[in-house]
Amino acid sequence: MACVPENPEEETRLPPGQYVPRGRPVVHYGRVPAFRPETWRFQVFGATASGRVHEFSWEEFSALPRITVVADFHCVTKFSLMGNEWGGVPTSALLDRVPPAPGVRHVMVWAEYGYSANMRMSDFDRPATLFATHLDEALLSPERGYPVRIVVPHLYAWKSVKWVRAVEYLTEDRRGFWEERGYHNVADPWKEQRYSYQEDPGDGPP
């Protein structure tokens, strides 16, 4: 007997090669860091327009404008989490507060313990890309990135860095943690850009 999806529309929302798992897997490399609001800082460094490093305390970061985004989430290991409601600070608010220098085309997002992911400024700057503090109206749980993770819903989920501590503005592209270890520099799930051997010239640093 053919397996007919209950809601055919849900199926067209799945990028090629992805499936919806039973549970809601948590995935990361290494340990879950502790959050200490007094010492926590969010740094913006690299090619800022001012030439200076900008730091937000937890209080300052919490005062930034907020949005809600409903989006699906696609891990390169092929599971997708559908219809997540993320709440947090849009990347546009950060770009307004700390403008990049004119030549910035790429961004590196840094987490606790040195995990990182690079992305094009055009992906960072999308209206649905945000620094999420909430998932489905609750504070993020520690293992999902509390207090802040970036969510880049239109790229594979390794770009959605948990426990974000810094954003680096780049005038030249550089590979992050998984991009250095054989994963695709751009990571568009609709094009199945999983591995670096699939990259076309121009997709990544030389």
Binding stretches for ligand MTE (CB under 6 A): 25-29, 75, 111, 115, 144, 157-158, 160-163
Nearer residue to ligand MTE within complex by CB, 24 or 191: 24
Q: CA nearest 179: which of 103, 110, 119? A: 119
Nearer residue to ligand MTE within complex by CB, 44 or 152: 152
Number of Cβ within a 10 Å radius of residue 18:
20
Nearer residue to Mo ion within complex by CB, 90 or 189: 189
Shortest Å distance, C-beta 113 to ligand MTE: 7
Q: CA nearest 87: which of 124, 126, 138? A: 138
> 160 touches which of ligand MTE, Mo ion, none (CB within 5 to 8 A by kind)?
ligand MTE
Shortest Å distance, C-beta 145 to ligand MTE: 6
Distance between CA 35 and CA 180 in Å, rounded? 28
Nearer residue to Mo ion within complex by CB, 89 or 161: 161
> 163 touches which of ligand MTE, Mo ion, none (CB within 5 to 8 A by kind)?
ligand MTE
User: What is the helix, strand, coil percentage profile of the chain, to 5?
Assistant: 20, 30, 50
DSSP labels, 82-99: EEEEEEEEEHHHHHHHSP
Nearer residue to ligand MTE within complex by CB, 52 or 78: 78
> 169 touches which of ligand MTE, Mo ion, none (CB within 5 to 8 A by kind)?
none
User: Both tokens of residue 198?
Assistant: 């699939």
Shortest Å distance, C-beta 177 to ligand MTE: 7
CA angle 93, 96, 99 (to 5 degrees): 130
The residues binding Mo ion (CB under 5 A) are 27, 75, 157-158
Number of Cβ within a 10 Å radius of residue 142:
15
| Bond from prior residue into 127 cis (ω within 30 degrees of 0) | no
Nearer residue to ligand MTE within complex by CB, 61 or 110: 110
Q: Which residue is nearest to Mo ion (CB)?
A: 75
Shortest Å distance, C-beta 50 to ligand MTE: 27
Shortest Å distance, C-beta 65 to Mo ion: 29
Distance between CA 146 and CA 35 in Å, rounded? 8
